[in-house]
Structure 1
Amino acid sequence: MPLNNAMMLLKGLRFHHLGFCFFWAVIFVVLSGLQSTSNPSDHWRLYLLVEQTVTTLAVGLVVYLYWRKKTVLPRWLSLVAGFTLSGGALLYFMAFAFGFDDVVTAGISGVMLGCANALFFLLWQTFFVTEGQQRSIIYIPISAVLSIVLYIVTQLLPFLALLFVVVVVLPFLAMLTLHTSLGEIELYPIRVLDKIDLKRVVADLWKPIFCVCAIGFVWKLVSRLSGSVESSEGFTAMAVLVGFGAASLLVALIELFSKKGFEILRMYQILFPIITGIFLLPTFFGSYYSPLLTGMLMFGFETVNLLLLVACAVYSAQKRYSPIVMYGICIFPVLFFMVAGDALGSVLTPILAFDFAHVINALFVCVYLLSVVLVLVSRGRKPAPVIAGTEYLALDDDTLISDSIEAAAYVPAGITDQQAQVGQDEEAELSTVQYFLQKGLSRREIEVAELLTKGHSVAAIARKLYISENTTRGHTKSIYRRLGVHSRQELIDMREQGIF
C-alpha cells in the first residue's frame, strides 16, 4: 500500500474498531500467569484442555448451525460474550490465585472462556469482513500489536489492580467496542455455499490453511515439551509473548506498507529455514535454548495465522460468502490441530521429560513434518497468482480505490477450471472500474458505486468512507444519473447481469 494511503487509513481509525485488543489482552493474562511453566498443576492442565477444546467445538457448532443461513450472529451476543469473558476470568483467578484449586472451578472457567473465545472470534470476523478490505487488513494486525501493549501494562499493576482490570475493565471495553462496531455493519447479501462453491474455496485456500495447521500443531507440541524442561522455567512465556508481538508488528507493517500484501505460502517458505536453524540450537547447545525455539515457532505461527485471518476476511467479502462459514473453513482446522498438538505434547511430556535426548528426537520429527508440508504445498505447477494480496491505486489525498482484490493467501493449486474462473473474476473486477470510468464517474463516485453494488446503504457507505450522508447521497444521485438507473437494486442487477 502506498505510504500516503497507509497514513490516511491510520488517521481514519476509530477507537472501537480496534477493540479486539482488549479481548486478546485478557486471554494473554489468563494464559501466561499464576502457574509455573515447568511444574503446572493438574487442574491447570485440565483448564487448558477444556478451554481449547470448548473453543474449537463452539466454533464448529456455530459454523454448522449457520452453514445454510443468510444471516450472521445477532448483535446482542456481544453482551453475552463480554459477561462470559468476565465470569470466566473471575473463576480463573478463584481457581489459581485464591486457593479454590479444584477441578470444578478450573473446568467451568475453561468452559466459559472457551465460549467467550468463540463468540469474540466470530463476531469480530463479521465486522472485519463488512468493514471493507482496505481497513480490515490493518485492523487485525494493529489490534494484535495493541494487545501486547495492554498485556505489558497489566503486568506492571499490583495484584488487586490487575484483578480488577482483567475481570472488569478489559471485558467491559471488549464488549463495548464490539457492540459499537457491530452496530455499524451493513452486511452484503450472503451467498450460500453449495458443493461447487465449497470445492472452489478448498482449492483456493487449502495450501495456506495446511501451512498454518502444521506450524500450529508443531508450536503447541514443542511448547508442551519445552515446558517440561526445568531450565526453561520463566522464559517460555516471555519467548511466546515476544514471538507474538514480533509477528503482529511484522504483519501490520506488511499490510500497511507493502503494495501487494504477502502470500502465506511465500512467508512459510521464508520462515522454514529460519525455524529449522532455531531447531538446531537445543540440539547443539542444550535445553537452555528451548524457550527460544518456542518463541520462534510462535512468531512463525502467528505471522501466517494473522495473514490467514486477513485472507479469510477479504475472501469472504470478495465472494459474498458468510463470514461465519468462511471463518470455520479457514480457522476450525487450525484450532483442531492446535488442540491435537497440545494433547500429544501432554502425553509425551512424562515420557520424554527425564531424558533431553528424547526431546531432541521429537524436535527432529517436527522438522521433518514441517519439511513434508513444504514439499506438499510446493507441488504442482505454480503459475503467477491471480492477486498476491491487495493492490491499491494511489489517487488523490481523500480517495482510496481497491483494485480487483483476491485473498491475501491465495495461490492457485494448479491449472484447473476453478483457476480459470478466478481469473475471470479478476477481469470482471477490473472491467467494473473501467466501465465506471467510461461513464464519467469521478474517483470518489467509483468508490461509492462499488459499495452500492455490494448492497451497502447510504449510511454504511458514509461510515466506511468517513464522509457525510449528504455527500454520499449527492454521489449516489450522480451515479444513478450517469448510469441511467433509479435505485441501488438496479445497479446490483446490472452487475449480476454482467453489464459491468
Structure 2
Amino acid sequence: MLCFFGFSFSRAANDLLAHRFALTGALGPLWGEDLYSLAMLAAFLVCAVLARKIAPLYRRASIVRGAAGLAIAAAVLALASPVAGAASSALLMLSIAAGGVGGALFILLWAEFHSTLGPLRIVLYVSGAFLFGSTGAWLLQDLDPVRSTLVLVILPLASVWCLRQSFARVAPMDLPRSVWGRYEFPWKLIAVLGVYELAYGVWEASPSFAWEAYAIGGIGVALAVFALACFCSKRFDFAYVYRTPFALMVCGLAMAPLTATLGEFASDLGVSAGYALMFLVLTFLMCDLSHRYGVSVLVLCGMQELTAAFRLLGHQVPTAMSHGALPAFVDDSFVSMALTIAVAVASIALLFGKELPGKWGASFFGVGTMAAESEEHGLLAQRCAALCEAHNLSPREREVFELLAQGKRPSAIERELVIANGTLKSHTRRIYQKLGIHSKKELLAMVAADEPADAQA
C-alpha cells in the first residue's frame, strides 16, 4: 500500500534539514549537521530510557502532532535565521534542536509501524522509504530557501497522514505492545555498528570527501535491496542478504582497496554504500527483533541510532590530525589501514560468533533468550526456535511454523509472507512430516508442552 511508504517523506525532510545545517556558514563545515545529530541522539536516548512509560508512541496524539510541529518549526526558524540580525544564532540553534527532536520522533514512530510487519514487508517498505526519501532529498536540495521551506512544511504533514493510514490497516494482534518483560540486549551487534559508524565518520570528515558519493551510494544500495524485495522475493532467499553479515564485512573491507585502485570518488562511493547497506540491514534486523519478541523498537532502534555518536567522534579525527594533536606517524595511510583493520576485526568477530552465520537474527546475535523471562509472546518465540532447531526446519519453514504457533489463519500467513495458498500448504505439510504430527492442533499442543526447564521448575 502506498501509504506504507510514508516514512520516505520524513526521511527526505531529515536529509534536507541535515544538508541545510551542514552548509550554514555560522557554524562551519559539518558542525551544523553534527549539532543536528546530537539533538536527535538526545531524543533517542530519552525515548529509550522512558520506553516502558511512553511506548507505543503512535497512540499518543500529542507526540505525533509534536513531531510534525517541531519539524515544521525547524524549517520556518531556519528560513528566518539569516535575516534575524542579532537573534540569528539563537534562531539557528532552536531550528537545529527542533529539527533533531522532531526527526528522531518520526524515525521511532515509523519504526513502530515497521515492527508490525513480517520480514519481507520490512525489507520492502524500509528499503523503499530509504530509496524514495534519499532520492527526493537529493533532487530537492538545491531549491531556494523559500521553496525549500515550503517543501519542509508539507513533508511532515504528509508523513503524519500516511502514518495514521498505515496503522489503521494493521491487524490488532500485530500492533506494538505497551508492556514487555526483561530482555538481553544485543550489545555485540551495537559494538560492531559503532565501529562502522566511527570508520564512516572519519572518512566523511576528510576534506576530499565527495558529498555526492553519499547520496549516490545510499540510493544505489536502497534501490538494489528494494528491487530484490519487489521482483525476486519468490526466487531469492533473503537469508543471504538479511540474515548473514557477509555484506557488512565485504563493504567495510572495500574501503582500503578502492582508495588505491579506483580513485577518491570511487572509494567514497564504496564507503558510503557500505555504510548505507550496513545501516539499512540493521534497521531490518531491529524491526524484526521487535516483531518476533514483542520488545519496543524505542529500545532497539533507539539504541541503534545512538551509535551515531561514534560517527560524530570520527569527524574529529581529521581535525585533530590537521592541528597536530595526534602523533606524527598518524597520517592518511595510517588512518586508512587502522580503519580497515578495525572493520575487519569487528566483522570477523560477528561472523565467527557462537552461532552459525545462517542464523542471522536473534539467536545469531546472542539474544536467543531475549525474552526468556518475558510475557507469553516472547516465551512462545523461544519455544518455537528450540523446536525448529531440534527438527532441522528450513528458514522458510521456521517462519511458517512461528506464525502457525501464534494461531494465525492461513490467509493471514499468506499475506504476511507473500506466498500462495498452495505454497503455504506445501510448507505446512513438510513441517508436519518433520515434527511427526498431523494437524495444527497437535502443533499447538507440541509448542505448549515444550517449555524451558526453568519455567517448568
Identify the TM-score tier after normalising by the shorter chain: 0.7 to 0.9
Closer, same or farther: CA 156–431 of 1 in aligned 2, 3 Å: closer
Structure 2 residue identity aligned to 1:176: W
Residues 259, 266 of structure 2: 8 Å contact kept: no
* Distance in 2 (alpha carbons) for counterparts of 1:273 and 1:422: 36
Closer, same or farther: CA 495–348 of 1 in aligned 2, 3 Å: farther
Q: Which residue of 1 aligns with 2:378?
A: none
* Distance in 2 (alpha carbons) for counterparts of 1:181 and 1:109: 29
* Distance in 1 (alpha carbons) for counterparts of 2:109 and 2:387: 28
Q: What is the 5 A alignment of 1:187-266? A: 187=175, 189=177, 192-194=180-182, 197-198=183-184, 201-202=185-186, 206-224=187-205, 226=206, 228-229=207-208, 236-256=210-230, 257=232, 258-261=236-239, 262=241, 263-266=243-246
Closer, same or farther: CA 94–495 of 1 in aligned 2, 3 Å: farther
* Distance in 1 (alpha carbons) for counterparts of 2:90 and 2:343: 38
1:144 Cα offset (Å): 0.9
Residues 1:326 and 2:300 are matched in the alignment: yes
Q: Which residue of 2 aligns with 1:270?
A: 250
Q: Which residue of 2 aligns with 1:8?
A: none
Q: Which residue of 2 aligns with 1:335?
A: 308
1:367 Cα offset (Å): 1.9
1:157 Cα offset (Å): 4.8
* Distance in 2 (alpha carbons) for counterparts of 1:120 and 1:63: 14
Residues 1:29 and 2:16 are matched in the alignment: yes
Residues 1:497 and 2:448 are matched in the alignment: yes
Residues 1:18 and 2:5 are matched in the alignment: yes
* Distance in 2 (alpha carbons) for counterparts of 1:99 and 1:294: 38
Structure 1 residue identity aligned to 2:448: Q
Structure 1 residue identity aligned to 2:257: G
Residues 1:424 and 2:391 are matched in the alignment: no
1:251-277 CA distance string (max 9 Å, x none): 223444232341351112322342221
1:103 Cα offset (Å): 2.9
Structure 2 residue identity aligned to 1:276: A
Closer, same or farther: CA 277–113 of 1 in aligned 2, 3 Å: same
Residues 197, 310 of structure 2: 8 Å contact kept: yes
Closer, same or farther: CA 494–177 of 1 in aligned 2, 3 Å: farther
Residues 404, 440 of structure 2: 8 Å contact kept: no
Aligned length: 404
Residues 6, 159 of structure 2: 8 Å contact kept: yes
1:142 Cα offset (Å): 0.6
Closer, same or farther: CA 349–494 of 1 in aligned 2, 3 Å: farther
Residues 256, 337 of structure 2: 8 Å contact kept: no
1:360 Cα offset (Å): 3.4
* Distance in 1 (alpha carbons) for counterparts of 2:219 and 2:83: 26
Gaps of 5+ in 1: 1-13, 389-405, 452-460, 466-481, 485-490
Q: Which residue of 2 aligns with 1:446?
A: 410
Residues 1:93 and 2:93 are matched in the alignment: no
Closer, same or farther: CA 139–75 of 1 in aligned 2, 3 Å: farther
* Distance in 2 (alpha carbons) for counterparts of 1:293 and 1:241: 14
| Corresponding residue to 1:140 among 126, 134, 141 | 126
SS of residue paired to 2:59: coil
Q: TM-score, normalised by structure 1?
A: 0.68
1:9-46 CA distance string (max 9 Å, x none): xxxxx222101111111222223348659xx5436654
SS of residue paired to 1:259: coil
Q: Which residue of 2 aligns with 1:477?
A: none
* Distance in 2 (alpha carbons) for counterparts of 1:426 and 1:108: 52
Gaps of 5+ in 2: 373-380, 419-438, 452-457
Residues 55, 178 of structure 2: 8 Å contact kept: yes
1:165-206 CA distance string (max 9 Å, x none): 22x222221222223323444325566242xx31xx42xxx4
1:140 Cα offset (Å): 0.2
Structure 1 residue identity aligned to 2:91: T
Residues 1:162 and 2:136 are matched in the alignment: no
Q: What is the 5 A alignment of 1:107-146? A: 107-146=93-132
Closer, same or farther: CA 136–433 of 1 in aligned 2, 3 Å: closer
Q: Which residue of 1 aligns with 2:32?
A: 47
Structure 1 vs Structure 2 CA RMSD: 4.3
Residues 45, 306 of structure 2: 8 Å contact kept: no
Structure 2 residue identity aligned to 1:26: A
* Distance in 2 (alpha carbons) for counterparts of 1:247 and 1:100: 44
SS of residue paired to 2:237: coil
Closer, same or farther: CA 188–19 of 1 in aligned 2, 3 Å: closer
Residues 43, 103 of structure 1: 8 Å contact kept: no
Residues 94, 100 of structure 1: 8 Å contact kept: no
Greater shift, 170-179 or 312-321, is seen at 170-179
How much identity, in percent, do the aligned residues show? 15
